[in-house]
């Protein structure tokens, strides 16, 4: 843990907790500022978790096996000849919006943080719609390695967003955790001129080499017959860079792992400055996996060309997709993240009606 802290500069004093964004230039900015400041005020981290690793893992352990909400219905949607699953939960009354949920790398729509969001959506009047990508979590798949799930591919999510818009006049919101957040940010950064969803929320969790091999790449290799080099990649590639250089990048047609990373990066060639959809990033200073400096807009560098629609709330602690709250974190679960995301959506919606 000390090595991790030194390696990733956890707790860097150069990054200060707070809220970031252009708050005074628009009605939505002013509303968002109020929402984010209230989120920080109600952020009461569990006092006896003494490092970021415990804050990261505790809720995933305590909330593991949480039952999915009753009424969840699975629907199938075809994109480019592949099967995309949509797990839909309707609110009890008239819905006020649709929230498309993008889970993290080693999960699916049964992850406890997704289940928590489903419940909050239902309580607050949103349709929760969890997306399960091509071939993930045992879903049907056909084709070659280039057709498998890739975080650099945004066409699947865009097709689902367009389908939702064609089915309803309700606003569509996008929430992503970790790798799902990468895809969400990439989508709004690359397609700002045509993307009319109201907001996107980016939440991150650990991208670990073992989980990448176990939960995603091993299934891809088994389904498609793809033969990575080296042949003993499962045992010899023990870090994220090595795994993706050996399997992820070449399987999807990239010449190098760096081209692969650029394809999934929202800020490649400065695209973040083009984001025209209100977008929120939630991050903790003590994140032990993704350095906080890389995760949000930098408004302390004197530049005025940052996106007017990109906001961030940075907490003093919380780990990586953790944020346990109070002395009994199992009673609140992932509620702080879920409610902050939906409060942001409400702020954007309210501004649209001003």
- Residues that are catalytic: 178, 287, 320
Cis peptide before 230 (omega within 30 of 0): yes
What burial letters (b/e) apply to 274-303, b meaning 16+ CB within 10 Å? bbbbbbbbbbbbbbbbbbbeebbbeeeeee
- Dihedral angle sign, alpha carbons of residues 21, 27, 30, 34: negative
CA–CA distances in Å: residue 284 to residues 47, 68, 256, 288, 297: 15, 27, 31, 9, 14
Backbone angles phi and psi of 20, in degrees to 5: -130, 145
Instruction: Mark 161-183 as b/e (b = at least 16 C-beta within 10 Å).
Output: beebeeeeebbbbbbbbbbbbbb
Distances in Å between the Cα of 354 and the Cα atoms of 30, 94, 351 are 12, 21, 5
Q: Which residues contact 269 (CB under 8 A, 6 or more apart)?
A: none
Give the sheet arrangement for strand 310-315, strand by strand.
18-20, 310-315, 279-284, 199-203, 172-177, 97-102, 126-132, 82-89, 73-79
259 CB-side CA count, 13 A: 8
């Amino acid at each position: 843990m000390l090595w991790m802290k030194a390696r990733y500069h956890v707790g860097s004093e150069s990054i200060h907790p707070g809220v970031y964004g252009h708050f005074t230039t628009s009605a939505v900015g002013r509303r968002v500022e109020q929402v984010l400041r209230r989120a920080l005020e109600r952020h009461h981290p569990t006092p006896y978790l003494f490092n970021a690793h415990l804050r990261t893992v505790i809720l995933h352990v305590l909330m593991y096996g949480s039952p999915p909400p009753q009424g969840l219905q699975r629907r199938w949607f075809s994109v480019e000849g592949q099967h995309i699953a949509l797990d839909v939960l309707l609110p009890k009354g008239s819905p006020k919006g649709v929230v498309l949920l993008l889970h993290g790398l080693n999960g699916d729509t049964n992850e406890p943080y997704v289940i928590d969001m489903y419940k909050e959506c239902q309580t607050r009047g949103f349709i929760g719609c969890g997306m399960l990508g091509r071939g993930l979590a045992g879903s049907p798949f056909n084709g070659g390695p280039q057709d498998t799930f890739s975080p650099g591919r945004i066409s699947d999510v865009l097709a689902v967003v367009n389908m939702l818009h064609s089915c309803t006049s309700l606003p569509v919101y996008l929430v992503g955790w970790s790798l799902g957040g990468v895809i969400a940010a990439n989508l709004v950064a690359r397609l700002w001129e045509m993307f009319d969803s109201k907001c996107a929320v980016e939440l991150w969790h650990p991208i670990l080499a073992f989980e990448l091999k176990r939960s995603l790449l091993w299934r891809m290799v088994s389904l498609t017959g793809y033969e990575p080099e080296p042949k003993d990649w499962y045992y010899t590639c023990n870090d994220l860079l090595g795994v993706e250089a050996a399997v992820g990048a070449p399987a999807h047609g990239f010449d190098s792992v760096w081209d692969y990373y650029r394809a999934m990066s929202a800020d490649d060639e400065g695209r973040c400055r083009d984001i025209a959809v209100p977008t929120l990033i939630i991050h903790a200073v003590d994140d032990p996996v993704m350095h906080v400096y890389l995760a949000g807009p930098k408004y302390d560098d004197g530049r005025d060309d940052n996106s007017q629609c990109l906001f961030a709330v940075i907490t003093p602690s919380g780990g990586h997709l953790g944020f346990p709250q109070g002395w009994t974190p199992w009673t609140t679960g992932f509620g702080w993240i879920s409610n902050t995301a939906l409060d942001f959506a409400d702020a954007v919606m309210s501004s649209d009606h001003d």
